Amino acid sequence: MPLAPGLRVAAAVAVCCAVLTGCSEDAAPRSSATSPDAPVLQPGRPGQDNQTLTGTRAVPSPSAKASPADVRFVQNMIVHHAQALTMVDIAFGGLTDGQVRSLASRIRAEQGPEIGYMKRWLEKQGQRVPPQATNTRMAGGHDPSMPGMASKQQLLTLQNASGPAKDRTFLNLMITHHQGAISMALLRDKSGGTDVDIEKLGGDIRSSQGSQITRMEKLRAGLPAA
């Protein structure tokens, strides 16, 4: 998904930390803070190669003061993306299907750099940056203001699942999560968003995550019967 330049925090820290602590030893490395000076990976569209953006290309371009709808969207989307990375971290070491693992890696490769990108956008706007931007372990359970967020119990269920059931649980939660992100992008458009960079970000999220939903539904249908 092409990155655009340059998302409310209500996470349950203790539960999520407990979940992450209980993850298996062979799980994927934990998502961590993105350095402000680090290169930004721009995932290509289907069939296209990824690009690495550095320097000024990796920093949101200056723009007029954004509307409250833009700021709220970016703050909330940081929290939303952080939970997606949390779910990848919880599930990755136990996923049994190679295509599901590949998809999980793709989600990490896209949404990790996007969090750093949105963090820089908020900083340029002089707005509060959610702590999840530098510590995705703080991404906890469901927040009613952000559709698609997994509950604490769902995160624990994902942690405890094994075999193909882990793949299926991961896909179920991530499909719902992606659908929530698309809803958030549409809500931003209807709520008076004015920043052209964030408009493009929302469009990219709708396009990329919509395509991933279709892929995840096909992968889920191909898993062994529960």
- For 108-144, how does the pLDDT look when each residue is reduced to its tens digit (9 = 90+)? 999 999 999 999 999 999 999 999 998 866 655 556 6
Residue 96: pLDDT over 50: yes
CB 111 within 8 Å of CB 194: no
Quickly state the pLDDT bin for 173 (edges 50, 70, 90): very high
Instruction: Give phi and psi for 210, each to the nearest 5.
Output: -65, -45
Q: Which residue has the higher pLDDT, 88 or 32?
A: 88
Residue 62: pLDDT over 50: no
H-helix or E-strand spanning residue 222: helix 196-222
114 C-beta neighbours (distance < 10 Å), count: 28
Residue 225: the pLDDT is: 84
- Distance (Å) of CA 177 to CA 150, 174, 210, 222: 7, 5, 11, 20
Place of tokens 């549409």: 186
71 C-beta neighbours (distance < 10 Å), count: 22
Question: What ranges make up the beta strands (E) of the chain?
Answer: 40-42, 51-53
